[in-house]
Amino acid sequence: MMKKVISTDQAPKAIGPYSQAIECNGLLFISGQIPIDPSTGAIVDGDIKIQTRRVLQNITAILEAAGYQLDDVIKCTVLMADMNDFAAMNEIYGEFFTNNKPARAAFGVVQLPMKAKVEIECIASK
């Protein structure tokens, strides 16, 4: 088993005992990303669309740091603080995943870290 830690300063630093991503046997596992601006370390202000865009920009940066791209993503899990935001989140999500759309699950949760509106984790494969 080949396990490699992936880290980039183009995405938020881990705020706990975890890695931004782990690559293992041709799969890339990206930890849940919340809408933190990596240049400030703060949650971006704004609605679910602004926050979803920041999350997916962070995921894109991690993918690129590992030599992957959005088309390599095979599964996403989306966590939202308010399921009423689903349609707006989905609109932005669809701007990023235009080809080879990954499998996905979406859940409403009671609360997310730092009071984020959305968190997304994903798995990619080459």
CATH code of domain 3-125: 3.30.1330.40
Rounded distance between C-alpha atoms, residue 111 and residue 79, angstroms: 9
pLDDT at 98: 95
pLDDT tens, 91-105?
A: 999 999 999 899 999
At 15, is the secondary structure helix, strand, or coil?
A: coil
pLDDT value at residue 108:
97
Contact 39, 9 (CB under 8 A): no
For the chain, list residues with pLDDT below 70.
none
